[in-house]
Amino acid sequence: MISYAFLALIPAVLAAQAPSFSAPAGGPTVASSNYVGQNNGTLTKSPVVAGKVFDRFTQIWIENTDFAVASTSRAFIELAKQGILLTQSYAVTHPSEPNYAASVGGDFWGMGDDNLYNIPSNISTVFDLLEAKNISWAAYQENLPFDGYQGFNFTQPNYLNSSAPPYTYYVRKHNPPVLYDSVTSVAERNTRIRNFNDFAADVNASAIPQWNFITPNMINDAHDTDIDFASDWLEFWLVPLLSNPNFNDNKTLILLTFDENENYAINNQIYSILLGGAVPDSLKGTNDSTYYTHYSTLSSVEANWGLGSLGRQDTNKTVSNVYKFLADVVGYKNLDVTGNDIPLTNLTTTIPGPLNPNLYIPFSAPNMNATGAGGGAVFAAPSLNLSATPEVLGGPVNLTALNQTVPASGLPNSSSDSSPPSPSGSGGSSGDATKSVAGSFAVALAAAGAALFML
Ligand SMILES: *[C@@H]1O[C@H](CO)[C@@H](O)[C@H](O)[C@H]1NC(C)=O
Ligand SMILES: *[C@@H]1O[C@H](CO)[C@@H](O)[C@H](O)[C@H]1NC(C)=O
Ligand SMILES: *[C@@H]1O[C@H](CO)[C@@H](O)[C@H](O)[C@H]1NC(C)=O
Ligand SMILES: *[C@@H]1O[C@H](CO)[C@@H](O)[C@H](O)[C@H]1NC(C)=O
Ligand SMILES: *[C@@H]1O[C@H](CO)[C@@H](O)[C@H](O)[C@H]1NC(C)=O
Ligand SMILES: *[C@@H]1O[C@H](CO)[C@@H](O)[C@H](O)[C@H]1NC(C)=O
Ligand SMILES: *[C@@H]1O[C@H](CO)[C@@H](O)[C@H](O)[C@H]1NC(C)=O
Ligand SMILES: *[C@@H]1O[C@H](CO)[C@@H](O)[C@H](O)[C@H]1NC(C)=O
Ligand SMILES: *[C@@H]1O[C@H](CO)[C@@H](O)[C@H](O)[C@H]1NC(C)=O
Ligand SMILES: *[C@@H]1O[C@H](CO)[C@@H](O)[C@H](O)[C@H]1NC(C)=O
Ligand SMILES: *[C@@H]1O[C@H](CO)[C@@H](O)[C@H](O)[C@H]1NC(C)=O
Ligand SMILES: *[C@@H]1O[C@H](CO)[C@@H](O)[C@H](O)[C@H]1NC(C)=O
């Protein structure tokens, strides 16, 4: 996100140094020392679980851009011709991290910042639903130093400019599964949080899973740059992969989207395109004006594979319409949400929840009676307290006024946060300041720092 008041504080000299795109690797399937961690074996190929419309769903998230701005950028215009442009697609809140959290957990838990959270393991995610049906998954995070890395960010040699100081390309706030203890506390799940050298090897081995989340680094996703930089990255990375059958075949659906828009003063509409071989030829180059949100990724995946649900916002009919071309095939009835009925999701910090220190309510059990688009049962995580319903938990408490922080904030789990490898081949320094932070006062300082840098 960009706060205009904060932007004014950025020295003009920084603003003037907008870099131009430089390919981080020889191609999207070529290993690169710029990606830091070397590949560590490919994922095991598992039998393909057939979906009703697609066998693979891959989403790629770019950052902080208004719909109107993305609409004028070259790669987005070209890619829209090859897919379905979703003209009423919305993020769920601001800033970045709560949107990423929502994409796999079905809620953003009242989060209104980009701080470090560990969401407790009794909170289920889409990975529970997928694994219940043996559907494979992975998150590919560009510049993640090693599989399952849990640090707050990672700083490495600057590959755009070798005389510039080291650069932070990877940030935890853009990595959905790492936010959830139900993932990070299970070693097999951790190895599914991978970097782009793993991606290259997995594509070549035809081992790309059936559900994937792709996060480009902080310059390629437009976060630290702009939409034209991201557009150049898409031409380098995504366009060639669209004709690679190991990435995109006629049963692959790809969602190219944004975490949130940039201008908080208007509703949170984002530019989203459905691409890939699973899009019927007759729909390529068309628009779909159905109201969708990040929760639609969950409901659509649930509908496609007949999964259970999370009993969270993935089952809230207003915000979880299923992609129309899929809903039409599976016979799911979407809600017609238009005009002033479209919820305002440009709000932030005012939504109560377990990750809102000013309006704190503990994690509640999901609505176990809900029925999602897949028709299956609501998944109950082990150790879930089913009696902790919203009614029982009551109204919010202001923890800040009590000098307390939310219980889920703090340091990454130390268990797998071992030293990262030095960047292969580039011989530069690497920094992981998170590990040296100790004590609750320092944690509070880090959180305050993160809040300042939540752009
Ligand atoms: C998933 O795979 C396991 C091990 O191969 C098998 O026992 C189980 O029945 C499978 N579950 C489903 C839903 O196919
Ligand atoms: C390599 O993979 C193994 C298990 O798959 C994991 O334990 C280890 O942390 C990984 N190492 C790196 C450097 O990614
Ligand atoms: C590279 O970084 C150095 C040191 O920060 C800076 O002086 C120089 O202008 C940068 N070069 C480019 C092309 O941005
Ligand atoms: C993947 O295959 C391409 C094309 O054969 C090759 O150029 C590339 O080096 C391979 N990548 C890896 C990681 O093996
Ligand atoms: C989809 O791809 C498979 C495998 O390459 C091929 O056998 C099949 O004919 C293709 N179907 C369509 C509709 O293109
Ligand atoms: C959110 O967007 C609406 C609609 O554009 C606007 O009226 C409202 O002022 C915005 N809210 C905030 C907090 O900026
Ligand atoms: C469903 O979503 C709408 C729009 O955000 C919201 O007003 C409503 O409270 C939600 N319902 C539940 C049960 O969460
Ligand atoms: C779920 O159904 C049970 C049994 O019908 C009922 O007691 C409970 O109140 C329902 N819960 C919700 C959240 O609707
Ligand atoms: C989930 O776990 C957290 C942390 O242990 C606990 O505070 C909370 O009450 C639990 N909630 C439910 C619904 O089980
Ligand atoms: C919570 O308490 C803090 C500190 O006293 C205060 O600044 C803030 O306005 C309060 N927020 C709410 C929603 O009551
Ligand atoms: C919170 O901390 C402030 C500053 O240390 C102190 O003045 C205040 O009394 C504390 N409030 C509570 C509720 O402990
Ligand atoms: C990286 O993390 C450290 C704390 O571990 C923090 O001080 C710094 O601001 C973070 N940098 C970015 C770019 O997120």
pLDDT, residue 17, reads: 57
CA of 134 to the centre of ligand 5 (A): 23
pLDDT, residue 13, reads: 40
As given in the structure block, the two tokens for residue 147 are 């599989």
pLDDT, residue 425, reads: 30
pLDDT, residue 172, reads: 98
Residue type, 181: D
What secondary structure does DSSP assign to 104-171, as a single string?
A: HHS--TT--S---B-B-TTS--HHHHHHTTT--EEEEETT-SSTT--SSEEEE--SS-TTSPPEEEEE
Question: Using CA positions, which residue lies closest to atom 7 of ligand 5?
Answer: 250
Is the peptide bond prior to 209 cis by the omega test (within 30 degrees of 0)? no
As given in the structure block, the two tokens for residue 89 are 């697609």
pLDDT, residue 444, reads: 31
pLDDT, residue 421, reads: 37
Taking alpha carbons only, the member of 86, 78, 58 closest to residue 271 is 86
**Following CA atoms 166, 17, 140, 148 in sequence, which dihedral angle do they give, to the nearest 10 degrees?**
30
- pTM for this entry: 0.90
pLDDT, residue 416, reads: 35
Within a 10 A sphere around the Cβ of 88, how many other Cβ atoms?
18
CA 58 – CA 247 distance, rounded (Å): 9
Options 113, 198, 221, 224, the catalytic residue:
224
pLDDT tens by residue, 382-391 = 899 999 999 9
CA of 353 to the centre of ligand 11 (A): 23
Could you tell me the mean pLDDT of each successive run of 10 residues in the chain, 455 residues long?
42 56 98 93 95 98 98 97 98 98 98 97 98 98 96 97 96 98 97 98 98 98 98 98 98 98 98 98 98 99 98 98 98 98 98 98 98 98 95 97 95 40 32 27 32 33
147 flagged as catalytic: no
Whether residue 387 has its Cβ less than 6 Å from ligand 8: no
What secondary structure does DSSP assign to 185-240, as a single string?
A: TSHHHHTTEE-HHHHHHHHHTT---SEEEEE--TTTTSSSS-HHHHHHHHHHHHHH
pLDDT tens by residue, 283-323 = 999 999 999 999 999 999 999 999 999 999 999 999 999 99
Instruction: List residues bridging with 156 in a β-sheet.
Output: 167
Whether residue 367 has its Cβ less than 6 Å from ligand 8: yes
Exposure on the CB side of residue 3, measured as CA atoms within 13 A: 13
Best residue among 347, 361, 398 to mutate for probing ligand 10, ranked by most atoms within 8 Å of CB: 398
Domains and CATH numbers, the chain: 53-348 (3.40.720.10)
Best residue among 92, 346, 350 to mutate for probing ligand 6, ranked by most atoms within 8 Å of CB: 346
pLDDT, residue 445, reads: 29
Q: Which atom of ligand 1 is nearest to the CA of 133?
A: 13
CA distance between the termini of the chain: 4
CB 226 within 8 A of CB 17: no
Q: Which atom of ligand 2 is nearest to the CA of 187?
A: 7
pLDDT, residue 71, reads: 97
pLDDT, residue 439, reads: 25
Residue type, 2: I
